[in-house]
């Protein structure tokens, strides 16, 4: 896959970004970089900014986004849109609770931001947005389109309220049609209240599971599975619930902060107990 696009802050923006041409402005989403590419078998290869994921061992904080892409993408449209599968890489962000308390019951699992095609570079933002919509995926929502770069001052730009919670957006992304871009952070973005895992990872796994309303999550997952026409089983509930937890509490899974095997075992036990009680 192609390398993830660099997104410097406005103070280190590429030469000319704010001097010529036109800009598209997007709400920046706080989360983790995610990229994917369709393979010749029809499977989708995923990765973060620097690595490619084992398809059977996607990191927990990314699973919600990966499930959403796999479930929503129109593969026929993708095959038609991509003449050479290994020539196109899709880039975006998986929202996670890092510094913004998003409303995770309604924010999508993935926002497409860029598309790179070998020998063409990054596609213009209007084409990128159109392609993501045709594929059935959510893209970053434009704040303004075709803003004259010479009329835009990033130092005087006021980051607007977020679409995805009651507060200021994480920042604004300014992009031109050649793929150059910069990030303008909000001055008063809130700090996350996400818990930090204690040092005792094994004990933490059980305590953590008991603190995250597993029954409510199972009920919500059951509704989603029924809506999707998928059988409700311990396995299908587990896949849904652990994915939701991963993006809401990503810090618990960073750098071995929690014993993931112990956590998965404790979570599956709780889900099994709930499922058998229904």
The 10s digit of each residue's pLDDT in 216-275 is: 999 999 999 999 899 999 999 999 999 999 999 998 888 777 888 899 999 999 999 999
If asked whether residues 100 and 160 sit together in one domain, one would say yes
Question: Highest mean pLDDT: which of 45-49, 140-144, 189-193, 203-207?
Answer: 45-49
Residue among 103, 105, 111 nearest 161 (CA): 103
- Mean pLDDT value of segment 40-63: 92
- Mean pLDDT value of segment 120-139: 93
pLDDT digits (tens, 9 = 90+) for 64-92: 999 999 999 988 888 887 767 788 999 99
Tell me if 3 is assigned to some domain.
no
If asked whether residues 180 and 206 sit together in one domain, one would say no
If asked whether residues 45 and 118 sit together in one domain, one would say yes
Q: Is the pLDDT reported for residue 140 higher than 60?
A: yes
Q: Is the pLDDT reported for residue 278 higher than 90?
A: no
Q: What is the tally of structural domains in the chain?
A: 2
Question: Residue 118's domain spans which residues?
Answer: 10-185
- Mean pLDDT value of segment 95-121: 93
If asked whether residues 26 and 156 sit together in one domain, one would say yes
Q: Which of 185, 217, 252 is the last residue of a domain?
A: 185
Q: Is the pLDDT reported for residue 41 higher than 90?
A: no
How far apart are the C-alpha atoms of 150 and 23, rounded to whole Å? 10
If asked whether residues 136 and 38 sit together in one domain, one would say yes
Tell me if 190 is assigned to some domain.
no
Q: Is the pLDDT reported for residue 198 higher than 60?
A: no
User: Given this model, what pLDDT does residue 203 score?
Assistant: 55
Neighbouring C-beta atoms of residue 92, cutoff 10 Å: 26
Q: Where are the alpha helices (DSSP H) in the chain?
A: 63-72, 75-81, 125-135, 201-210, 214-228, 234-248, 260-276
Tell me if 75 is assigned to some domain.
yes
If asked whether residues 162 and 236 sit together in one domain, one would say no
> What DSSP assignment string belongs to 45-87?
EEE-SS-B--TT---GGGHHHHHHHHHH--HHHHHHH-SSGGG
Q: Is the pLDDT reported for residue 191 higher than 50?
A: no
Give Cβ neighbours of residue 28 (< 8 Å, ≥ 6 apart): 140, 169, 170, 171, 172, 173, 183, 184, 185
- Mean pLDDT value of segment 139-162: 94
If asked whether residues 101 and 25 sit together in one domain, one would say yes
Q: At what angle do helices 201-210 and 260-276 cross, to 10 degrees?
A: 30
If asked whether residues 230 and 123 sit together in one domain, one would say no
Under a CB-based contact definition with an 8 Å cutoff, are residues 96 and 30 in contact?
A: yes
How far apart are the C-alpha atoms of 170 and 98, rounded to whole Å? 10
If asked whether residues 222 and 178 sit together in one domain, one would say no
Residue 81 burial (10 A CB sphere; 0-12, 13-18, 19+): middle
If asked whether residues 56 and 103 sit together in one domain, one would say yes
Q: Is the pLDDT reported for residue 188 higher than 90?
A: no
């Amino acid at each position: 896959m192609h390398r993830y696009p660099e997104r410097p802050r406005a103070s280190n923006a590429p030469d000319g970004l704010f001097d010529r041409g036109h800009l598209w402005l997007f709400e920046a989403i706080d989360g983790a970089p995610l990229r994917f590419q369709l393979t010749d078998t029809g499977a989708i290869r995923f990765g973060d900014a620097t690595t490619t994921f084992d398809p059977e061992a996607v990191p927990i904080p990314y699973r919600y986004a990966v499930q959403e892409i796999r479930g929503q993408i129109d593969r026929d449209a993708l095959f038609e849109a991509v003449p050479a599968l290994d020539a196109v890489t899709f880039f975006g962000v998986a929202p996670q609770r890092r510094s913004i308390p998003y409303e995770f019951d309604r924010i999508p699992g993935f926002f497409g931001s860029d598309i790179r095609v070998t020998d063409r570079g990054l596609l213009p933002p209007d084409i990128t947005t159109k392609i993501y919509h045709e594929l059935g995926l959510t893209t970053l929502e434009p704040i303004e389109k075709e803003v004259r770069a010479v009329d835009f001052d990033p130092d005087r730009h006021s980051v607007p309220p977020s679409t995805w919670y009651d507060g200021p957006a994480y920042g604004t992304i300014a992009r031109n049609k050649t793929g150059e871009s910069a990030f303008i952070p909000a001055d008063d973005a809130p700090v996350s209240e996400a818990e930090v895992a204690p040092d005792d990872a094994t004990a933490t796994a059980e305590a953590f599971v008991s603190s995250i309303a597993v029954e409510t999550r199972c009920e919500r997952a059951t509704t989603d599975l029924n809506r999707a026409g998928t059988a409700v089983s311990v396995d299908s509930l587990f896949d849904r619930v652990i994915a939701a937890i991963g993006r809401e509490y990503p810090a618990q899974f960073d750098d071995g902060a929690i014993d993931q095997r112990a956590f998965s075992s404790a979570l599956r036990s709780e889900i099994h107990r709930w499922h058998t009680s229904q």
